[in-house]
């Protein structure tokens, strides 16, 4: 019987949730990690706050992701903030199913790497994939990976003082950084 349980075919005592029409809003809190490819070699802790309205096959909503961290020795630091809206498509109606999604976000990235400091802020596109489990329960567990693709670059704001003394400092270059975050979010 476990193999035939779907979110749309369980009735009465067979289900662990109250009878209802499809479509419910879920709030979520999660934790994870964000990497900064193209920036500093650093992975920062992440907090995810989400709200999604889900039906059997799609979810529409948004979230806030906040990441900040350093190397411990103060040599590398990075932070990332994003306010995102988007949609997810569920590949099946099973209790646990994969999803693909995308959307838009307003995001910011700040990086420090010893002799280079920079930040950027603006619009981004985001693409994500993952698994949503426990869909026949009142709560859900979402494990997902998201790439945030900014339409801006991180611009330098600091050149290390060791470049003084009669020698002109090199022109600092802009960096295109794609934050990639992994989050485990509990939806209720």
Contact indicator for 58, 88 with CB cutoff of 8 Å? yes
For residue 84, being part of any structural domain is answered with yes
- Domain range for 65: 23-161+176-187
Q: What is the pLDDT along the chain (188 residues), one digit of tens a residue?
A: 566 767 666 665 555 555 556 789 999 999 999 999 887 778 999 999 999 999 999 999 999 999 998 876 667 889 999 999 999 999 999 999 999 999 999 999 999 887 778 899 999 999 999 999 999 899 999 999 999 999 999 998 865 555 555 555 556 688 899 999 999 999 99
Q: What integer pLDDT is reported at residue 70 of this predicted model?
A: 80
CATH number, domain containing residue 28: 2.40.160.20
Task: Let me know if residue 29 belongs to a domain.
Answer: yes
What pLDDT, on a 0 to 100 scale, did the predictor assign at position 15?
56
Q: Is 6 part of any domain?
A: no
**In a domain? residue 123:** yes
Q: What is the pLDDT of residue 81?
A: 97
The token duo for 141 is 């567990």
Q: Are 31 and 47 in contact (CB under 8 A)?
A: yes
How, if at all, do strands 140-150 and 180-187 pair? Answer: antiparallel
pLDDT of residue 117: 85
* Number of separate domains in the chain: 1
11 located within any domain:
no
96, part of any domain: yes
Residue 78 lies in a domain: yes
d(CA 64, CA 10) in angstroms, rounded, equals: 33
Q: Rounded to whole angstroms, how far apart are CA atoms 148 and 139? A: 27
Tell me, what's the pLDDT at 160? 55
Q: Can you tell me the distance from the alpha carbon of 64 to that of 110, in angstroms, rounded to the nearest whole number? A: 17
Residue 4 lies in a domain: no
Q: What is the reported pLDDT for 130? A: 98
């Amino acid at each position: 019987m476990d193999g035939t349980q779907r979110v749309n075919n369980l009735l009465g005592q067979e289900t662990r949730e109250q009878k209802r029409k499809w479509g419910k809003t879920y709030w979520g809190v999660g934790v994870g990690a964000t990497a900064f490819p193209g920036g500093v070699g650093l992975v920062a802790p992440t907090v995810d706050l989400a709200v999604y309205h889900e039906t059997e096959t799609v979810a529409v909503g948004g979230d806030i992701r906040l990441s900040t961290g350093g190397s411990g020795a103060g040599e590398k630091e990075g932070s990332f903030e994003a306010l995102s809206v988007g949609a997810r498509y569920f590949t099946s109606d099973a209790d646990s199913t994969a999803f693909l999604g995308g959307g838009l976000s307003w995001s910011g990235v700040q990086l420090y790497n010893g002799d280079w400091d920079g930040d950027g802020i603006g619009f981004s596109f985001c693409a994500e994939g993952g698994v949503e489990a426990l869909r026949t329960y009142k709560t859900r567990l979402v494990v997902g990976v998201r790439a945030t693709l900014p339409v801006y670059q991180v611009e330098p704001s600091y050149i290390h003082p060791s470049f003084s003394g009669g020698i002109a400092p090199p022109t600092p270059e802009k960096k295109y950084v794609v934050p990639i975050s992994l989050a485990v979010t509990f939806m209720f």
